[in-house]
Amino acid sequence: MSASPKAPGGEGNSTAIGNSTAQESLFEEPDAVGTAAAEWDRNSAQRSIDELFQFARQYTSSESFNGLMRFIARFRLYSPFNAMLAHIQMPGATFVAPPHRWTRDYGRRIKPGARPVVLLQPMGPVMFAFDVSDTEPLPDAKPLPKDVEKPFEVRGGRVGNELGRSVEKAKRDGVRVVERDAGSQSAGQIGVAKPGASVSFLIKSRPEPMYRDFAVRYDLLLNAKHSPEAKYVTLVHELAHLYCGHLGTPNEHWWPDRRGLTEAVREFEAESVAFLVCSRLGIDNPSDEYLSGYVKGNPETPAISLDCVLKAAGLVEQMGRERMKVRKDKEA
């Protein structure tokens, strides 16, 4: 699965749905993009996290990157970004929570001298959390629940409302999702749409439904013959191409313009996002096999942006479970 149209420096697309004539009529050819990816890479603020990883060389080897991805995939209670921070500070962590939650919800206290894990806090700067191994039970504490003792257990591999919610939320970014009958080997594709069409995004449902129309910027094709799980895996992969900046951006405050990356980098980033999002839902996905195969055949990862991968994964996760407002022009 790959983004369409082709970015400079990339190869052709081999997983398009339907015949090529139908698809060529659906997508708009892009203008020459020159060095958009290089310009984004030169922005020190946006690449600071990636520079940190490159400097430390923590995740440039395929084996260590694969270990990070699998840790984040299992660390479901926090965002992908916070899971990454936990892995950097305490690779052996299994379940972390702030002190007040350990006391309130689990009847446990922090052991003297325990080292905290620093995480980003929603609507605030940071919070200090502690792994279960750094806690001890208070008198009359109840046994730890299953999600604390065995947080990495595999769950049922079924997609619920995430597919429909994500399709709806994508409309606010001008993404029109289209299903077409195609062969079993065809999965999906995203590309820049021809101008003129619009999609209606549900702003609120009560007391009366209210919609807002958005111009269609991108068309995303899914195979109508696939299962809901397979459709969701494809949807996540193609949205990853968009939110990692592979097709450019309508607004730099929403996601970066990174056109001009090689196909190897684009596909590795999209597969990484798909692996994280789907694995954290317990859905089997081919990205697992892709990453495992890459590790066996390549000692180092491509020059990807881990920052973009984690942010895209967090956004796509949010689209599948939360209500989301219309974007602001200067949204961070």
Q: Based on the fold, state whether residues 167 and 133 are members of the same structural domain.
A: no
Contact 291, 273 (CB under 8 A): no
Do 146 and 178 lie in a common domain? no
Question: How far, in Å, CA of 275 to CA of 287, rounded?
Answer: 5
Tens digits of residue pLDDT in 40-65: 665 654 455 555 555 445 676 788 88
Same domain, 173 and 284: yes
The sign one gets for the Cα dihedral 273, 277, 278, 282 is positive
Distance CA 212, CA 231 (A): 26
Contacts of 178 (CB under 8 A, 6+ apart): 26, 219, 220, 221, 222
Q: Mean pLDDT, to the nearest integer, of 6-20? A: 40
- 12 vs 148, residue with greater confidence: 148
- Shared domain check, 197 and 141: no
pLDDT of residue 68: 87
Q: 282: domain range?
A: 2-54+156-321
Is pLDDT above 90 for 193? yes
- When comparing pLDDT for 16 and 169, which is higher? 169
Report which listed range, 23-27, 39-43, 61-65, 79-83, is most confident: 79-83
Dump pLDDT digits (tens) for 223-260: 888 889 989 999 999 999 999 999 999 999 999 999 99
Domain termination site, one of 84, 117, 151 = 151
Q: What confidence score (pLDDT) does residue 246 get? A: 97
Domain shared by 253 and 120, yes or no: no
Q: How many CB atoms lie within 10 A of CB 305?
A: 24
User: 175-180 and 218-223: which strand pairing?
Assistant: parallel
The answer to whether residue 128 sits within a structural domain is yes
Instruction: Give the number of other CB atoms < 10 A from CB of residue 118.
Output: 15
Same domain? For 161 and 147 the reply is: no
Domain boundary residue, one of 103, 125, 151 = 151
Whether 69 is in a domain gets the answer no
Is the model's pLDDT at 32 over the cut of 70? no
Residue 108, beta-bridge partner list: 137
Q: How confident is the model at residue 1 (pLDDT cuts 50, 70, 90)?
A: low
Q: Tell me the mean pLDDT in the region 186-199.
A: 89
Q: Identify the band that residue 5 occupies on the pLDDT scale cut at 50, 70 and 90.
A: very low
Q: Does one domain contain both 139 and 273?
A: no
Render pLDDT for 263-300 as a digit per residue (tens, 0 to 9). Answer: 999 999 999 999 999 999 888 788 888 888 887 888 88
Is 295 among the domain residues?
Answer: yes
Neighbours of 292 (CB within 10 A): 13
Q: The whole model's pTM is what?
A: 0.76
Q: Which of 105, 124, 151 is the last residue of a domain?
A: 151
Taking the C-alpha atoms of residue 260 and residue 38, their distance in angstroms, rounded to an integer, is: 8
Q: What is the mean pLDDT of residues 192-198?
A: 93
Angstrom CA distances, 161 to 227, 231, 276, 313, stand at: 14, 12, 18, 17
Number of domains in the chain: 2
For residues 164 and 49, state if they share a domain: yes
In a domain, 89, yes or no: no
Shared-domain flag, residues 146 and 165: no
Identify whether residues 48 and 113 lie together within a single domain: no
Domain assignment present for residue 140? The answer is yes
Across all residues in the chain, what is the average pLDDT?
81
pLDDT band at 182 (very low <50, low <70, confident <90, very high): low
Q: Has residue 299 been placed in a domain?
A: yes
pLDDT band at 174; cut points 50, 70, 90:
very high
Number of helices (H), then strands (E), belonging to the chain: the values are 12, 11
CB atoms within 10 A of CB 88: 16
**Element at 201 (helix H, strand E):** strand 198-204
Residue 244 lies in a domain: yes
Residue 110 and residue 213 share a domain: no
Same domain, 165 and 18: yes
**305 belongs to a structural domain:** yes
CA distance 241 to 313: 11
